[in-house]
Amino acid sequence: MQQLATLARDSRALAALAVPLALTQLAQVALTTTDTIMMGVLGTEALAAGGLALVIFNQLRTMGVGLVTSVGNQVAAAAARAERAQGSKDESTGDDDVRDLVRAAMAAATLAGLAGAVLMVLIGQAATWLGQDAAVAHRAQGMLAALAPGLLPCLWFQAIRQFTVGMRRPQALLQITIASVAVNAGLNWIFIHGTWGMPKLGLTGIGVATSSVYLLSFLALYGSARRDPQLAPLLSLDFWRADAATVRRLLGLGAPIAATYGSEAGFFSVTALLAGSFGAAALAAHTAVNQLIYIVFQVAVGLSHAASINVSRELALGEYAVARRIKNTALACGAVVTTLVGIAYLVVPDLVLRPYFDAGSAADQQGLEIATGLLAVVAVLQFFDCAQNIGVGLLRGLDDTRSGFRITLIGYWLVGLPAAWLLAYPLGGETRGLWLGLLIGLATTAVLLLRRYGLALAAKAATIPEAAVAG
């Protein structure tokens, strides 16, 4: 009973941070979904060009976000040190550390935003050389040029976001992100069709709207933080004064995270190409099921970030026993969510897949049958997907981002991809075999990450007095 009470208490503490983060992630999915729907209204060519532009933008944005993700952990640890030092002569040291981290985060975001914007435009110009249709490439270039300026405020937003999460005050994130979905839809319509005296920009207007929303979101989050009495004194945006050593430290921690995000995106992209080799129906089924996983994955992201921040905080306070419990709490919460969703997959598969397939259409019937057969595999796979994401976050809480990257390379590319190929082709499993290979890769990654966290935490605990480890 005591263990259940402790688990319930720890789960409530974790959920206080994880829930708003997960809902914010889901709202961001709605943002990109709105853009895609608007592209579809403009026609197939616009959808193809806009989709190409978004793939390029999202890849660079995701890796840029990875560069500043560790800021939340560093801020959480510095804030905990400041809390522990209250009343001592060193009381201001922790606050100074947080201010230095915010400056360094903004500097790193600025560097990544500028470099990414330039790279985005260059990739757009080279699209035809990469085998893309000339008409599609031309329209994608216009959208990429409109999206490029938005990368900078997007990454500034992420830097401030990590600061608020590290301070465990992320509440404004959800409201701002939800509002941005509505604003984005309105601006899309205005710039696409040229209403209210605005120029009629078509597909490029979606890029202009998205960049505008990123700027407005950054200003809204900055304004909210400035009004928060706990955050305002620590919020320093004069990134030109950032300490070079702190910037290098953040980039050193962030580069493996960015590489991990890029590696994971590449892993799923390659499996999509493999699924396409089995025909249009198999690719449609793969796409639909992958989207289901992507939605549930946002909950895993929330749990991962919350667990990561809490580990950084507890270690700074010397609470190693609590840090050890955080792993079990996060995995238990993830298991509850994925089990409930998995039951829905098995009990009402037609309802789950209805948004993607028309059950009354003969053309959709084969894709629906393949997707339905995959749901039993996905019901298990999504737990390991959640667990490996939590594992990456836990290691980030220990400032160990390199191990996370190395382990994901092993799990995704050395185990998962060969297993997927073997089960799909030589053993004849086709799409189902492909997803069984994905399950094996993600399970291997999860086990290795969680094992590494246990060993690394034990090694850290061994360097301090036994009484401190016991909490």
Please name the residue ranges forming H helices in 126-150.
134-147
Give the pLDDT band of residue 94 (cuts 50, 70, 90): low
Q: Is the pLDDT of residue 326 over 70?
A: yes
Reported as a single tens digit per residue, the pLDDT across 351-410 is 888 877 776 776 678 888 888 999 999 999 999 999 999 999 999 999 898 998 999 999
Rg (C-alpha) for the chain, rounded Å, is 23
Please name the residue ranges forming H helices in 148-228.
151-166, 171-193, 203-227
Q: How many CA atoms lie within 13 A of 195 on its CB side?
A: 7
Reported as a single tens digit per residue, the pLDDT across 436-453 is 999 999 999 999 999 999
Amino acid in position 100: D
- Supply the angle between the helices 320-347 and 362-397 in degrees, to the nearest 10: 180
Compute CA distances 106 → 133, 152, 268, 295, whole Å. Answer: 38, 10, 30, 29
Backbone angle region of 399, left / alpha / beta, with phi > 0 → left and psi within -120 to 50 → alpha: left
Sign of CA dihedral 66, 72, 75, 81: negative
Q: Look at 33-37, 56-60, 406-410 and tell me which has the smallest mean pLDDT.
A: 33-37
Portion of the chain with pLDDT greater than 90, in percent: 33
Reported as a single tens digit per residue, the pLDDT across 170-207 is 778 878 888 888 898 888 888 888 787 677 777 888 88
Q: Is the pLDDT of residue 316 over 90?
A: no
Q: Is the pLDDT of residue 261 over 70?
A: yes
Residue from 60, 165, 69, 160 nearest 113 by CA: 60
Average pLDDT over residues 240-246: 87
Q: Is the pLDDT of residue 8 over 80?
A: no
Q: Is the pLDDT of residue 471 over 50?
A: no
Residue 211: predicted pLDDT: 92
Residue 470: predicted pLDDT: 43
CB count in 10 Å sphere of residue 319: 20
- The answer to pTM > 0.85 is no
Q: How many CA atoms lie within 13 A of 57 on its CB side?
A: 27
Q: Look at 123-132, 336-345, 413-422 and tell me which has the smallest mean pLDDT.
A: 123-132
Give the pLDDT band of residue 1 (cuts 50, 70, 90): low
Residues with Cβ within 8 Å of 302's Cβ and at least 6 positions away in sequence, in order, are: 18, 19, 20, 21, 22, 23, 24, 25
DSSP structure class, residue 317? T
What is the spatial distance between Cα 313 and Cα 73, in angstroms, rounded to a whole number? 8
Q: Which of 51-65, 302-316, 376-390 has the highest mean pLDDT?
A: 376-390
Residue 40: predicted pLDDT: 66
Q: Is the pLDDT of residue 310 over 60?
A: yes
